[in-house]
Amino acid sequence: MRMRKLGKTDIDVSLICLGTMTWGEQNTEQEAFEQLDYAVDAGINFIDTAEMYPVPPKLETQGRTEEYLGNWLARRGRRDDLVIASKVAGPGNGLSYLRGGPRLTREHIREACDSSLQRLQTDYIDLYQVHWPDRSANFFGKLGYEQNPKESMTPIEETLGALDELVKEGKIRHVGLSNETPWGVMEYLRLSRENNWPRVVSIQNPYSLLNRSFEAGLAEFAHREETGLLAYSPLAFGMLTGKYMGGKWPEKARLTLYERFVRYTGDHAADATRAYVELAYQQGLSPAQMALAWVNSREFVTSNIIGATSMEQLKENIGSTEITLSADIVSAIEAIHSEFTYPCP
C-alpha cells in the first residue's frame, strides 16, 4: 500500500482510506469489523468517519458508525497503528435533532468532539474535520454561488479558535475541512497564520470522473499549501461501476434504497458514465478500478476514500492501487471529460 504525507505533518496515511458511512445503516457491526480487519491487513492505516454517520442521517442511528469503530478499536487494540479521522457537523442536511441544529460555534464543537471521543473509545482524534461550512457557499452539489443576505454565519475565527483549544488539550492532533470552497480554505489559512492556530492539513471534498469541480480552484491550494485532497465519493455513489446502466436498479444498492441520492442520476451524468464504463471495458479494466486508479494518480490527492457494502466491493476497490493507467487511457479519459465537463456538481 502506497503512503502519502498528511499535509505538512509527520503522519503517513495510506493512499486508500476506508470510509465508514454505511456502517449502522447498510452494514452491521459484524460486517464493519470484517471490513476493518481486511483493510488493515491490506495495509490501510487511515479510517474516516463522522459524528452524523451513518448516512442517510437519522436520529435513531446518529453516532452508530463511530460506536462500531470504537468497539473494533477496543477489541483489537490497534489504536496507535491507525490514523482516525472524524468530523463535526455544520448546519444543513436536516440535522435538527443534533444539538438542536448543529453550528460551528465553540460550544457545539467542544460538545461534538467530546461525544465522538466517547463513542470512539479513544483519548484523541488524529484528524478532526469541519464537515461543511457554517455559511452560504457553493458546496456539495452547487457549482454557482448565490449570496444570501439573511444568512446567519458563525465566524471562521470562532470555529478555528475552538479547534485550537482542542489541539492544545490533546483531544485532536490536526484540523481538516470538508465540502469547503477556495475562499473558506483561504480564510482558515489566514487565521492560522495570523493567530498561530492549527493549520489546515487536508480538504475532504467530492472528486471523481463525474465531478472534477475540485480542480477549478482548490487543486492549486492543495498543491501549493500542502492541503491535499481526501477524495470522497470517487465512484459517484456507485454510478461509475456501471451497475446502474441500462435502467438497472440492483437490490440493496444505495441509489435503489434511498431516493435522496439523486446527484449523479441525471441524463447527462448517465451519458458520461456510459462513456467511462465503455472505455474501461475496451481496455480490459474493471470500471470501478479504472475510476479509482485515476483518482489515485492525481498528485494533489492525499488519500482516496472508498466505501463498500460487501467484501467483494471492498477487495476490488483496494485492488485499484495495483493499477497504473497508461498515457493512452488518461488521454481517452480527458477526451470524455472535454465532452462531459460538469455532468453533475
Segment of 97-101, 162-166, 262-266 carrying the highest mean pLDDT: 162-166
Task: Confirm if 189 and 141 have CB atoms less than 8 A apart.
Answer: no
DSSP result, 7-27: TTSS-EEESEEEE-TTBTTTB
pLDDT band of residue 211 (cuts 50, 70, 90) is very high
pLDDT mean over 79-100: 93
Euclidean distance between CA atoms 211 and 341, whole angstroms = 8
What 8-state DSSP symbol labels residue 229?
E
With a cut of 90, say whether residue 251 has pLDDT above it: no
pTM of the model as a whole: 0.95
Q: Which domains are delineated in the chain?
A: 3-235+300-325 (3.20.20.100)
With a cut of 70, say whether residue 345 has pLDDT above it: no
Q: Which residues touch 53 (CB under 8 Å, ≥6 apart)?
A: 20, 21, 23, 24, 62, 63, 64, 65, 66
Would you state the pLDDT for residue 150? 84
Would you state the pLDDT for residue 342? 80
Q: Among residues 270, 274, 262, which one has the least CA distance to residue 237? A: 262
DSSP three-state, residue 165: helix
Catalytic residue among 38, 53, 68, 124: 53
What is the percentage of the chain residues whose pLDDT exceeds 70? 95
Q: Is 43 left (phi over 0), alpha (psi -120 to 50) or beta?
A: left
DSSP three-state, residue 172: strand
pLDDT tens digits, 3-39: 999 999 999 999 999 999 999 999 999 999 999 999 9
Q: Does residue 97 have an active-site annotation? A: no
pLDDT band of residue 261 (cuts 50, 70, 90) is low
Task: Confirm if 13 and 24 have CB atoms less than 8 A apart.
Answer: no
DSSP result, 60-118: TTTTHHHHHHHHHHHHH--GGGSEEEEEE--S-TT-TTSTTS---SHHHHHHHHHHHHH
pLDDT mean over 95-108: 95
With a cut of 80, say whether residue 112 has pLDDT above it: yes
